[in-house]
Amino acid sequence: MKNLPNHVSIREVGPRDGLQNEDTFIRTYDKVAWIEKLIDSGTSYIEITSFVSPKWIPALKDAKETAAKVKHKKDVTFAALVPNRKGAEAAIEAGMDELSVFMSASETHNKRNINKTIKETYPVLKEVIQEGKKANKTIRSYISTSFVCPYEGKVEIDKVLSVACALLEMGVDELSIGDTVGAASPRHVDQLLSVLLKKVTTDKIAMHFHNTYGMAAANCLASLQRGIHKLDSSCGGLGGCPYAPGAAGNMATEELLYLLHQMGIQTGMREEKIWEAAAFIERKLGRSLDSNILKVRNAGIGGI
């Protein structure tokens, strides 16, 4: 197997992407405890919350309190999702290292998610980028529905390429190419990356998979084979999107670690710490999570 990276940086998105759709409100105290467990696993990157209106995402209405209570750690990038300048200001004030903006590659999803056309979205993100750069922050942008749009079906690779190039030109430091509904196949991933990597270097790209159809690990593998060395995942496989009918949880961090470590790819993270963190948030949410490894661990089996 060729082209595999030696090291992969995992972007832990559980506290934001993972929790944003949960009906059960996790108390700030427990959120902070979970985030600290995740940091303790050795992660170098964690998206801890989202500075959006509590009306949009009530699960993360305590963004400010969460950010204030988490102990920052050297060499760990703290990120937060922000939809606009106001959110950016709040995230900067809260001491975030990186601001994550978002838009979609498909018009309909973009419209439903942020009530703007793609063209109308750019100036909003530009304000965030300028605000962030002024404050010496790095900027990440999600490109949602980069493979399949729940309203439009398969998304043309050229559309993703066009949005990606526009964002990079505007000063975005890293793109997160999202399979929002979890419907991509490894061949689609391979095709998209073969086009994208002609224009963009791998250090600017993270891949973001959901596991709706059980394809997330296979899609990560296809990405690794194209030299991708940044992958998003969510502890416990938590996740989903309120504006993407049919979307299930993210690639589970514990399964991603298993995949990478078993293939001899380093991450700097400890699997057992992520299992513990996953078991912790599962207890707090009070429901069984969709993570194969967590099930094995809970059953007390799998002694290999």
Give the interface with a second copy as residue ranges (CB under 8 A). 1, 4, 148, 150, 153, 181, 183-188, 190, 211-215, 217-218, 220-222, 245-246, 248, 252, 255, 258-259, 262-264, 290-293, 295-296, 301-304
Closest by CA to 254, choosing from 295, 219, 224, is 295
How near is the Cβ of 228 to a second copy at its closest, in Å?
14
Smaller CB distance to a second copy: residue 132 or 150?
A: 150
Cα 12 from Cα 78, distance rounded (Å): 10
Q: Is 241 a catalytic residue?
A: yes
Rounded alpha-carbon distances, angstroms, from residue 163 to 8, 27, 85, 198, 274:
25, 37, 20, 15, 34
Q: φ and ψ at 150, to 5 degrees?
A: -65, -15
- Which token pair is 30? 């427990």
> In the bound complex, what is the minimum distance in angstroms from residue 53's beta carbon to a second copy?
25
110 versus 211: smaller Cβ distance to a second copy? 211
Alpha-carbon distance of 145 to 12, in angstroms, equals 19
Amino acid at 33: A
Question: CB–CB of 44/268 below 8 Å?
Answer: yes
Minimum distance, C-beta of residue 57 to a second copy, in the bound complex (Å):
20
- Cβ of residue 247: shortest distance to a second copy, in angstroms? 8
Would you say 170 or 197 has its CB closer to a second copy? 197
Closest of 257, 200, 198 to residue 231, by C-alpha:
257
| Cβ closest to a second copy, residue 32 vs residue 220 | 220
CB nearer to a second copy: pick between 55 and 153: 153
CB 267 within 8 A of CB 261: yes
Q: Helices then strands (H, E): number in the chain?
A: 11, 10
- Give the residue with the Cβ less far from a second copy, 138 or 225: 225
From the candidates 149, 220, 235, 241, which is the catalytic residue?
241
Rounded Cα–Cα distance for residues 240 and 59 (Å): 13
CB of 301 to a second copy, least distance (A): 4
CB of 181 to a second copy, least distance (A): 6
Q: How far apart are CA 148 and CA 184, in angstroms?
A: 7
DSSP state of 76: -
Dihedral over Cα of 9, 15, 21, 24: its sign: positive
**Other CB atoms closer than 10 Å to residue 38's CB: what's the count?**
27
Catalytically active residues are: 241
